[in-house]
Amino acid sequence: MQQVTPTVYTDTTIRGCNPSFVVTSDGVVVIDTPQLPTKAVEMRKIAESHGPIRYLINTEHHVDHIFGNYYFKGDFPVIAHKGVDDNFMVVGTDLDPFEYAKEAIPMDDPDGAAIFPERDVYEADMNRPEIVFTGDVELRVGDTVFEVHHTPGHTPGQVTVYVPSQKVVFTGDTIFSECQTWLHTSDIDQWLTALEKIRTFDFDYICPGHGPVTTKQYLDVQRANLMDWVTAVADAVAKGWTREEVVEQINFRDRYPVDVGQGYMMNHIQTNNAGSLYDKLTVGH
């Protein structure tokens, strides 16, 4: 794993989110877990080599951030916002998160097939949040303070974990660093507000949900990416384009690659982003 500061570690090289952990004087705090089974088991061993795990924080409910919780079961609680708990592994109209996790095994983690659980086994003990909060909370572990801020936008329960002593923020998917941004059913106005809230913190490093570790400057880049999508679709709506025309003609596929292991989903990201924005901008038309 990449050592960002003397006590902060993250992994930006695997399919799924960037799972991370912070070492304190009283053990380790994990922030998100690997989607791939063997990577989850490996990360847990690395984390525990620095001390006992005290807490696991999930920054959002998307499966690539939470599926690995199954491999982090222990005598330490999972912490998440109520919005994460409400949506934890919920099957949606367009995605079954369990099947999505399973789909990645042959391609990205064939050795993980041996430890990938059957659905009923997984659902019986998926290690969902035990400590659920609303608003912002502060967690003190040994000599380290963790400020957990509700920063909705990408998802309703999105949080940013700010560690002042290390000048690091863990943003989850509020930041897609140098890779394609997934809008899903996001609330763009809330997302833009979240970026400005994060800007007020004193930090040097962003550990993003996807892509390489970056700096505060990237808040402006992420904002521009969101605004470019909204502007392009809004302009098309103003011209009277149909949803089909918007989905077919508006894309930003040439701007960034897709994150590790998901190159085959480039077209899906573009059509999903364009279609979801069209639907939001034409409500009531």
pLDDT in tens, 151-189: 999 999 999 999 999 999 999 999 999 999 999 889 999
Report yes or no on whether pTM surpasses 0.75.
Answer: yes
50 — phi, psi (to 5°)? -100, -5
Which class does domain 2-222 fall in?
Answer: alpha beta
pLDDT at position 285: 61
Q: What is the pLDDT of residues 52-83, one digit of tens each?
A: 999 999 999 999 999 999 999 999 999 999 99
Report the C-alpha gap between 235 and 222 in whole angstroms: 20
pLDDT band (50, 70, 90) for residue 283: confident
pLDDT at position 262: 87
Report the C-alpha gap between 111 and 92 in whole angstroms: 28
Q: Percent of the chain scored above 70 by pLDDT?
A: 99
Q: Taking a C-beta distance cutoff of 8 angstroms, is the pair 29, 38 a contact?
A: no
Q: What is the pLDDT of residues 107-138, one digit of tens each?
A: 999 999 999 999 999 999 999 999 999 999 99
Residue whose tokens read 């605004």: 227
